[in-house]
């Protein structure tokens, strides 16, 4: 299916690995031009090098960074059609899951909101004038199933993402008449660095359960989360949903939350 993305310009945050990297790769394969934003590049991102891809190093915990990267995207490609707010998860130096609500300090809460909510707020604020000037466009923000099905141990993360999901609904109401669509994609547990890196979620759960990291990712985590498919989601599965939502072929889809979680979310 042709998604009609050829020649469109996109900005993707958190683009050096995991879901963001998969989104960059998918959009490039569909013919889009992409500004990929991350603190630093990665060997995997560098393998995608081509004229249609520009990497911009930025730390989105810096309040000035979103406006700078949007300006760079417009400078590179002459406009902006697509914004993918993917950067999120544990802020630098933080590991999840926690064992209790009480484990998060006063400093942990604003840091989590800064990374998962306010960076997206600032990116949208910077991108909107360009999206409107070009006659419309699409914004997809990566939320989480935890925004709708809370889980013990990730209180501040789930709260920040719930706010992002709510914000997306609000923005969809205001800007749909002007041609800008806003949607979220809510993954479940995705096999990304959050799980796979040393000291990540798989290691934390393995230590608590007396298991090992591979068993956690292959068996224990899907069982603990009651995932219907019995496995973690792949980044490519999230990227496919993002690509469809930013496509003109989803022109009547706005204010939606696309759940890609292997059956984690059970609510009707």
What positions carry a catalytic annotation?
Answer: 157
As a whole number of angstroms, the distance between CA 147 and CA 248 comes to 27
Q: How far apart (Å, rounded) are the C-alpha atoms in residues 230 and 50?
A: 37
Contact, 12 vs 86, CB < 8 A? yes
CA–CA separation, 21 and 149 (whole Å): 26
Give the per-residue SS3 of the chain: CCCCCCCCEEEEECCCCHHHHHHHHHHHHCCCEEEEEECCCCHHHHCCCCCCEEEEECCCCCCCHHHHHHHHHHHHHCCCCEEEECCCCCCCCCCCCCCCHHHCCCCHHHHHHHHHHHHHHHHHHHHHHHHHHCCCEEEEEECCHHHCCCCCCCHHHHHHHHHHHHHHHHHHHHHHHHCEEEEEEEECCECCHHHHCCCCHHHHHHHHHCCCHHHHHHHHHHHHCCCCCCCCECHHHHHHHHHHHHCHHHCCCCCCEEEECCCCCCCC
Q: Distance between CA atoms of 132 and 135, rounded to whole angstroms?
A: 5
């Amino acid at each position: 299916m042709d998604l009609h993305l050829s020649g469109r310009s996109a900005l993707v945050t958190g683009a050096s690995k995991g879901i963001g990297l998969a989104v960059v790769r998918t959009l490039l394969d569909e013919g889009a031009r992409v500004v990929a934003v991350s603190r630093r590049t990665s060997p995997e991102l560098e393998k995608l090098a081509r004229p249609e891809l520009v990497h911009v190093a930025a730390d989105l915990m810096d309040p000035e960074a979103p406006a700078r990267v949007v300006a760079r995207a417009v400078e590179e490609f002459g406009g902006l059609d697509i914004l993918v707010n993917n950067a999120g998860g544990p802020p630098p130096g933080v590991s999840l899951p926690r064992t209790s609500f009480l484990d998060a300090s006063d400093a942990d809460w604003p840091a989590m909101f800064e990374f998962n909510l306010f960076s997206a707020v600032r990116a949208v604020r910077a991108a909107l004038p360009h999206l409107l000037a070009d006659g419309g466009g699409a914004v997809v923000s990566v939320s989480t199933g935890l925004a709708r099905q809370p889980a013990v141990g990730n209180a501040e993360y789930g709260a920040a993402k719930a706010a992002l999901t709510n914000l997306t609904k609000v923005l969809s109401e205001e800007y749909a008449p002007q041609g800008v669509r806003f949607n979220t994609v809510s993954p479940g547990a995705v096999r990304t660095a959050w799980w796979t890196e040393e000291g990540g979620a798989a290691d934390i759960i393995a230590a608590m359960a007396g298991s090992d990291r591979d068993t956690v990712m292959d068996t224990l985590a899907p069982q603990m989360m009651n995932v219907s498919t019995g496995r973690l989601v792949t980044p490519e599965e999230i990227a496919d949903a993002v690509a469809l939502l930013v496509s003109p072929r989803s022109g009547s889809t706005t204010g939606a939350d696309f759940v890609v979680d292997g059956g984690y979310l059970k609510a009707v």
